[in-house]
Amino acid sequence: MAVRRGEPDRPLHIGLLAPAIPASGIANGIVTYTRIMRDALRAQGHQVSILTAFDYEDERGEPHKRAPEGLVRSGLASLRGRLDRARRSRRISPGPFIATLREVNARLPLDVLEMEESFGWSRDLMGRGPTIVTRLHGPHIYGKDDLETDEERATSEQRIVDEGRSLAVIRALTSPSARLLKATLDHYRVRPPIAETIPNPIPVAPPAERWSLGRADPDQLLCVGRFDTRKGADVVVEAFQRALRQRPGLRLVMVGPDPGLTQPDGGRVHFADHVRTLSPEARERIDYLGRRSAEEIAELRLRSAFTIIGSRFENFPYSLAESMAIGAPSIVSDSFGNGEMVIDGETGLVVPIGDSEAMAAGILRLRDNPGALAEMGDRAYRRCAEWLDPDRVARETVALYRRAGA
């Protein structure tokens, strides 16, 4: 089944393809997006199923492991052969997702399936029942590591080829970032019939859970994200070290996993090793907490003066949206959606990518202007409430689904 003409008000059965179902508890931006969209779409009367490689959440919210015979059919029995073919072709197989789609469709046919652009799988899922809508969560041409081993580079090159082939044939494409949408279309030289910017949704916090200057430590700065090169952890640490020379009372709290900073030889430098390159003063003033629960991170946001995001690539990060949703100001690198979510000087500060000196200046500017900090937080909250409202985003998305299937 697919979205059909002449049924403008019929509730849809919508499939959302994701790395994991929300009940898994996995911290991932696409999983967060899927959870919020699921809730907003169901509140509007639509049925929503969430599909992953080996399990799914049905339209009633019940989780399912894909049936054993489906797993065999999708490749467990022939896994070795598929892996051998993948190694030769450098292409990652969409087979498990196709098998999940087959099983969900057998329960209740999908009208539309929204999926990320990764691996060029949209092309493989076309013609299998539902209308396909592709969403740019992180096209590999911009999201890949700058430093890759020969093996990683070969796989990346194939992935980019597959993404381009898929984008050349799809009918509908959305992106939370207007800048990323334009850059992607220009790079691949494609023009889908429908290509629109729709932001990632997030509900704002109730008044009792909002950030306020009075409850925050003016010297505590927060960085939420992986300790790696793509997330710009090295830039944030260097900016903090610079700012610390002028404001020795500052403290940086870092939260997230530690895959390490990529090195030219393919190695990784983890936090414990990287911090040894810093001044003794900086080492003493950085608290690296590793992975923390969503509840712990929410409390850290309330206790921190502002959040710092130094990523070399971001599309439309939930780490920033979550700060906006509680009315907390942020300093962000000017990577695609960051510079659209934050209005420089009004809801936070935007600095050039990789510029630790500019970021340090921003840290000092916000630290020394508490009045401006409070005003930025309030404006960020109001912007989030209006622009990222889940009900509004869901309605805009469903309207696009219907056009895509017309």
Report the candidate in 223, 222, 221, 236 with the shortest Cα–Cα distance to residue 356: 236
Cβ-contact 73, 62 below 8 angstroms: no
Residue 92: beta bridge partners? none
Cβ-contact 253, 294 below 8 angstroms: no
Please tell me the distance from the alpha carbon of residue 152 to that of residue 115, in angstroms, as a whole number: 24
Question: Exposed/middle/buried for 25, CB within 10 Å: 0-12, 13-18, 19+?
Answer: exposed
Residue 243: CB partners within 8 Å, gap ≥ 6?
250, 360, 363, 364, 367
Structural domains of the chain in order of their starting residue, each with its CATH number? 13-201+389-405 (3.40.50.2000), 207-387 (3.40.50.2000)
For strands 55-57 and 47-51, give the pairing. Answer: antiparallel
Per-residue CA distances from 98 to 24, 66, 104, 329 (Å): 21, 11, 10, 42
Please tell me the distance from the alpha carbon of residue 343 to that of residue 345, in angstroms, as a whole number: 6
Cβ-contact 101, 144 below 8 angstroms: no
Cβ-contact 53, 92 below 8 angstroms: no
**What DSSP string describes 244-282?**
HTT-TT-EEEEES---BEE-TTS-EE-HHHHGGGS-HHH
Amino acid sitting at position 315: N
- Phi/psi for 113 (5° steps) reads -125, 120
CA 114 to chain centre: 15
For strands 217-224 and 251-255, give the pairing. Answer: parallel
pLDDT of residue 143: 79
Cβ-contact 252, 372 below 8 angstroms: no
H or E segment to which residue 55 belongs: strand 55-57
Tokens of 64: 């399912």
Per-residue pLDDT of the chain (406 residues; tens, 9 = 90+): 566 555 668 999 999 999 999 998 888 899 999 999 999 999 999 999 999 999 999 999 999 998 764 444 444 434 444 444 444 456 678 899 999 999 999 999 999 999 988 788 999 999 999 999 999 998 888 877 776 777 777 888 888 899 999 999 999 999 999 999 999 999 999 999 999 999 999 999 999 999 999 999 999 999 999 999 999 999 999 999 999 999 999 999 999 999 999 888 878 999 999 999 999 999 999 999 999 999 999 999 999 999 999 999 999 999 999 999 999 999 999 999 999 999 999 999 999 999 999 999 999 999 999 999 999 999 999 999 999 999 999 999 999 999 999 7
Residue 252: beta bridge partners? 221, 286
Residue 173: beta bridge partners? 134, 195
Q: For the chain, how many residues are written?
A: 406
Report the candidate in 387, 369, 400, 18 with the shortest Cα–Cα distance to residue 173: 400
Amino acid sitting at position 105: N
What value does the CA radius of gyration of the chain take, rounded to a whole number of Å? 22
Give me the helices (H) in 144-248, please: 150-169, 178-188, 233-244
* Matching residue, tokens 């740019």: 136
